[in-house]
Copies of this chain bind each other. A is one copy, B any other.
Amino acid sequence: MKRKVLEALKKNKDIFISGEELSRKIGVTRTAVWKHIKQLKEEGYEIESISRKGYRLLKEPDTLDPNALIIEIGSNFIGKHIYHFDSVDSTNTIAKKMAAEGAFDGTVIIAEEQIGGRGRLGRSWISPKGTGIWMSIVLRPNIEPTEAAKITQITAAAVANAIRKATGCEVGIKWPNDIIIHNKKVCGILTEMGAELNSVNYIIVGIGINVNVDIKEFPEEVKKIATSIRACVGKEISRKDIVKEILLEFQKLYLDFIENKNIKKSIDICKKYSVTLGKQVKIKNRDKEIIAEAIDLTEDGQLLIKNESGEMQTVISGEVSVRGITDYV
């Protein structure tokens, strides 16, 4: 109901809409309308109310309020169900629990703050309150576990496109799962799954983006390797706009994969923005380390490399350092 009030206000932005009209449109009493308006104000919406004229939406807060997001993205499949938390251990942990309990395909979990945010292999990840996007998407594709890596490539493509579109910031993609600006990490993607041997029960895509973090507040060793979108564009950026673009871009690329059984569109984007291809790379996997030249991405999103003895091989995933580009491990 509150969403309907907000939707009506957003549709009539800058003009007044009377309490009577709102009450008629939504089918609730004028008192109920008044209560929802009060609640929206408390959430940070600036709403002007003048007697005889009605209500007018002046400014929306940059919260990741599901009601506002769902209005923006429309009847999307990705984000049809959005759960918003103030503070969580990590959105991937919540998403895995919800997935195990039957959450719908396309469910999105967003938090204002992560206490125990993790990067790949259980590393910690700094996620201060309200300054970033900490989000996980629950997916239930009918694929083999070996195909899960494709979802990481789809996500990298979607996030790179979305950040460019929403902020103008010219991000690059470091294969397989980092989004970078000027050689520093601004976003990490963590793909996890619950699976049987030849079928996936669920896949969780975790996306963590430093949006309005003040990089001056990073510890010294983090400053060298991480940045934020605010540092890139020189001003605060609406997190909601970025989330909206990510969900729309992701849905487009993901559905293309599900419907056409290939990820060509995503791979083309990953190649276009790649900072890895053509460079010398060090790839760590478990106890093995390979130094090689990154040649291309295969149609499955694997990295084609030429190793030191000149042989070509493909790599599904791994910890990658790019010579001259990223100092970070």
Interface set of A (CB-CB < 8 Å, partner B): 93, 96-97, 100, 120-121, 142, 144-146, 148-149, 152, 176, 190-199, 201, 285-286, 316-318
Do residues A195 and B285 form an inter-chain contact, with CB atoms below 8 A?
Answer: no
Of the candidates B148, B152, B197, the one whose C-beta lies within 8 Å of that of A316 is: B197
Contact of A194 among B146, B190, B192, B285 (CB under 8 A): B192
- The residue that A317 contacts in the complex, of B93, B194, B197, with Cβ under 8 A, is B197
- Majority-rule SS of A interface residues: mixed
Q: Give the residue name and chain of the B residue nearest to A149 (CB).
A: B197
Copies of this chain held together in the complex: 2
Contacts of A193 in B (CB 8 A): 145, 193-196
Q: Return A156 CB to nearest CB of chain B, in Å.
A: 12
Which residue of chain B is the closest to A196 with respect to CB atoms?
B192
Q: A195 with B195: in contact, given A100-B96, A145-B145 (CB under 8 Å)?
A: yes
Interchain CB contact (< 8 A) of A197 among B97, B191, B197, B199:
B191
Taken together as a complex, chains A and B put the C-alpha atoms of A286 and B141 apart, in Å, by: 12
Residue from A142, A190, A199 having most chain B Cβ neighbours under 10 A: A199
Q: A190-B196, A198-B318 are in contact. List 13 more A-B contacts (CB 8 A).
A: A93-B100, A96-B194, A120-B196, A142-B286, A145-B145, A145-B146, A145-B193, A192-B194, A192-B196, A193-B193, A193-B196, A194-B194, A198-B285
A97 to B142 CA separation, bound complex (whole angstroms)? 23
Contacts of A197 in B (CB 8 A): 148-149, 152, 176, 191, 316-317
Residue pair A121, B196 in contact (C-beta under 8 Å): yes
- Tell whether, in the assembled complex, residue B195 and residue A192 are in contact, meaning their CB atoms are under 8 Å apart: yes
CB-CB under 8 A from A148, the residues of chain B are 145, 197
